[in-house]
Structures are given as C-alpha cells and as structure tokens.
Amino acid sequence: MGKRVRETERKYDGGGEAATVRADFAGLTAGSRALDAVRLEAVYYDTAGLALAAHKVTLRRRTGGDDAGWHLKLPAAQADTRTEVQAPLTPAADGPPQELLDDVAALVRGRALQPVVRLTTSRRRVLLLDADGATLAEVAYDRVKSQVLPEGPASEWTEVEVELGEAAAGDPALLDAAEERLLAAGLQRSASASKLAHALGGMLVAPPAGPPAVPGSAGGTATGYLHDQLAAILALDPAVRRDEEDAVHQMRVATRRARSALKSFRKELDREVTDPLGAELKWLAAVLGAERDREVLAERLAALLDELAGEPGADAAAVTDAVRDRVQALAARTSTESRETLLRALGSARYFALLDALEALIAAPPYRRGARKPGAEAARATVGRDMARLRRRIEEALALEPGEEKDVALHEARKSAKRARYSGEAVRPVLGAPAKAHTSRMKKLQQLLGEHQDSVLSREALTGAAAGARAAGEDPAPYDALIRAEQQRAADVEAALPEAWERADQEL
C-alpha cells in the first residue's frame, strides 16, 4: 500500500517576479537553510473528461528531486490540506500503480486514464527551521512550464509554495505569519488550487452541483441532501476497498440515506426518475450489507459466548473450544465470499452507472411542482408523512403477540424509523433545532428496534448451529442457552417499546 501523508500548504502568484522575489523571513523562525536548485518533470494523468481534476484530485508521475515517484493528491476537510499517497517510481509505460487506481476508481469509473499535462518545474527551496534544526516549513520558489497533452496550449508562470513540515505539527499560525511576509513582498494567493488546475485553466469544469434552486425551497433541500450523500459515497469508496474499519458501515449508511431521501421527497422529485435509481441504491446497500451484517453477527456472537462463559453453572462449562469454533464459523465462513462479492460490485459497470445517475440527477434535478414550495413548509410535511407511516407500523407491531409475525412487523417499523430519522437530517438546514431533536428521538427508537432485529438474526444463525451440533452428535445445550439469551433480549425490547415510542412520537 502506498505511503499516505498529509500536506498543508499555500500557493502564491507573483506574476513573472515570483521566481526571483525573496521574501524576508528573518526572525520568523529560529533559522533557515537554502537547498540546491532542482528540476522536476511531472506528467499528470486523468480521463479524457478530466474527472479527477474536476474533483480536485491529481495523479502524477514525477522525476527529479528527492521524492520521485507516483503521487496521488486527494482533498481533505482541513483548509489548505490534502492527503498525498506516494508510490515508488515505475516505468511510464506500465501506467499508474493499481494501489493508486483503487483510490480513484469511483471517479474514473472504468474510463481510460491518459497523460493530460506535462509540467517542468525549476525549483529553489528554503527550509525554515526550529532551534533544534527540524524543518517547520519549506518555501519553494517555482518557475513552471506546462504543456497540455497531446497538442494543447502551453504556458509559463511562477509561484511560491509554503508547506508545513512535520515539526510544525500542522499549525496554521506559521502559514499565516509566512503569508504576511509574502504579501509584503508583492505576492498574492494563487487562484488555482494546484499546478494542474493552473495549466488546464478554462478547460477544467467543476463536478455537477445542480442548477440553482429557489432559495430556501423544498427542491433545494432535497438535492442538497442527495449531494451530501453522493459526496460521502465517493469519499468512502477508497476506504472500503482498503478494508478500513467502519468504512463499509458508513458507506452503507450514505447509500441508505440517499435511497430514503428519494422516497421521502417524492413530492419534490419525479418518481419516474427516482424509483429506478432507488432500486439501484437498494442493490448497493444490500451488497455492502452482506459484509457489514457479517461483522455485526461476529461481534454479537463473540459477546454472547463471553457472557455465557462468565456465568456459573453447567451452561458456562459447556462453552468449549469446539463450541466457540462452531459459533464463530457462522460469521467467518462468509467473510471471504462477501468481501469478494463487494469488491466485484465496486468494480462493476452497474456501480459506475449508479454514480453517473446520481450525478446526473443532481446536475439536472427532475423537480416536480412541489419543489418550489418554501423549504420549511415542505420539510414539516415530509417529516409528517414519514412519521405517519412509522406510527402505523409501530401500532401494528404492538398489537401482535410475541412470535415470528411480530418480529417481521418490528423489522418493518425499524425501517420506517430509519426513514423518519433520515428525513429529519435532510430538513435540518431549514428547520434547525426542532429537526435535530426529532432526528435524535428517531435514532434512539431505531437503535432499540435494531437491537431486536439483531437478536432475530442471531437466533436464526444459532438455530442452524444447534442443528449442526445435533447432527454431529455434539451436545446442543450451549447453543440452546445462547438462543434463550437472545430470546430474552428480544423480550426486553418488546417490553420497553411502548414507553420508548411514547417519548419518540412528538410533533416536529
């Protein structure tokens, strides 16, 4: 896996003088040291439509200097900061390393990458040092020549970069102080986020953010929330591919939020467009869910075993290594298969088409007449519809006796609670604190109902394990004890639900 570092830097444009101007940094730090000049050659890769650059992502192969190699730079939430992924230098003919391609797969979407810009940079550097000689910041004076490939426009410019060193620990105060000196020397903050953006100039088109909606309108609320979920999916995609902790869960949540919004905002968005998209989001959530459900089941079963083993009596003594192995295998046996299925889905044309469709919807929303309504009025109506649906589901479930039918009804109520929660999130920009309080109530109710559903799924898995133990001539007692524990958990939820619902069922 490529080395990942965070870089915090600012760029300054001084016209033709930036390469020769020397800002006065005396007294800013304990000392400074000038380095030998270097010549850097970089070729930037992107799709024909510049999908990476449009999302402020750069992928380059650079030679020269002390960090030659492949560099992928990704936006970060912190101002003036990006994440850089570094990979060793390999022949250009081999193309970018796969480890970097995985990080941009959701943006590239199967399209070919090609060289789009060549940059030649003559660089002089000055290190700003602390009292121990550690680098606080690096000031780079660059003269840049660019060529858009294969036969596009060429340009030249000069700029100054100030990048924090590790010793500065990301403290922006030093950047502010250095900026004062640079501005005093006649430079100004660069209008381009990167050298690539400068080279491309007017060729660069931002990703779709949608046409301007009526200020404060219902349509703007709907598409704004959908835009946030698409951004989350794109940001989480690389982490899911790297199998980072909680990434699958978070991406699944973003997918479900988007699908829920398409349902909740049916008065604002044309269902002929959104229903097929919702079906594809359901597919993606199911693929992500297989991996996530395995993780949840494994954690739950491990906790149950530990509880049973800690209790006095025959059941505790029955928790042998063989029992642990059989129970843990319930989740582990599907791990490899679900992971492979997930990675295939994330590399499929179907997934890429779904991302394209989401972007197209945001760029040209299929607004209905209701989209022009005032946002606050429509928001209350949207949440009200979702609450009415949840109320029916809860009342139906509470009227049933414990058993399989009640389990199914409570699962449906849980899905409705989740939808009511997500619609509360979506309308928070227009309703503020009341929507926040509503979302909190729905989250608590959803978690309670989720505990019940987890017990149902756990019991189903344990029932299969008990049957396997009996068929193998093993003692089924520990599995039966685990099932009883899950039955009690479900009963506790059912007993607590009426009071929990009374607290949750409030007007927005």
Confidence of residue 420 (pLDDT cuts 50, 70, 90): very high
Residues 6+ apart with CB under 8 A from 244: none
Confidence of residue 290 (pLDDT cuts 50, 70, 90): confident
Q: What is the pLDDT of residues 327-365, one digit of tens each?
A: 777 666 556 677 888 999 999 999 999 999 999 999 999
Confidence of residue 320 (pLDDT cuts 50, 70, 90): low
Going from the C-alpha of 274 to that of each of 147, 222, 283, 284, 352, the distances in angstroms are 42, 12, 14, 15, 17
Q: At residue 48, does pLDDT exceed 70?
A: yes
DSSP calls for 140-183: EEEEEEEEETTT--EEEEEEEEEEE-GGGTT-HHHHHHHHHHHH
Q: What is the pLDDT of residues 149-168, one digit of tens each?
A: 999 999 999 999 999 987 76
Q: Are 144 and 14 in contact (CB under 8 A)?
A: no
Q: At residue 193, does pLDDT exceed 60?
A: yes
The domain locations on the chain are: 3-203, 218-504
Q: Which residue has the higher pLDDT, 442 or 310?
A: 442
Confidence of residue 60 (pLDDT cuts 50, 70, 90): very high
CATH topology of domain 3-203: Hypothetical Protein Pfu-838710-001 (2.40.320)
Q: At residue 210, does pLDDT exceed 80?
A: no
Beta bridge partners of 189: 12
End-to-end CA distance of the chain: 48
Q: Are strands 81-87 and 114-129 parallel, antiparallel or unpaired?
A: unpaired
Q: At residue 228, does pLDDT exceed 80?
A: yes
Q: Averaged over 216-232, what is the pLDDT? A: 93
DSSP calls for 196-228: HHHHHGGG--PPP--SPPPTTBHHHHHHHHHHH
Q: What is the pLDDT of residue 207?
A: 65
Q: What is the pLDDT of residue 96?
A: 97
Nearest to 319 by CA among 488, 487, 474: 474
Tell me which architecture the domain covering 218-504 has in CATH: Alpha solenoid (1.40)
Q: What is the pLDDT of residue 339?
A: 83
Q: Which of 12-21, 170-179, 310-319 has the highest mean pLDDT?
A: 170-179
Q: At residue 500, does pLDDT exceed 90?
A: yes
pTM of the shown model: 0.86
Q: Averaged over 400-407, what is the pLDDT? A: 96
Confidence of residue 16 (pLDDT cuts 50, 70, 90): low
Share of the chain above pLDDT 70, in %: 91
Q: What is the pLDDT of residue 23?
A: 77
Q: Averaged over 217-236, what is the pLDDT? A: 94
Q: Averaged over 280-306, what is the pLDDT? A: 84
Q: Are 426 and 508 in contact (CB under 8 A)?
A: no
Q: What is the pLDDT of residue 336?
A: 65
* Lowest-confidence region among 118-132, 461-475, 489-503: 461-475
Q: Averaged over 197-202, what is the pLDDT? A: 90
Task: Give the Cα separation of 264 and 260 in Å (integer).
Answer: 6
Q: What is the pLDDT of residue 91?
A: 96
Q: At residue 449, does pLDDT exceed 90?
A: yes
Q: Averaged over 75-87, what is the pLDDT? A: 91
Nearest to 71 by CA among 257, 250, 195: 195
Q: What is the pLDDT of residue 14?
A: 72
**Helix ranges, 62-171 (H):** 98-108
Q: What is the pLDDT of residue 270?
A: 96
User: Which tokens go with 489?
Assistant: 């958990």
Q: At residue 310, does pLDDT exceed 70?
A: no
Q: At residue 325, does pLDDT exceed 70?
A: yes
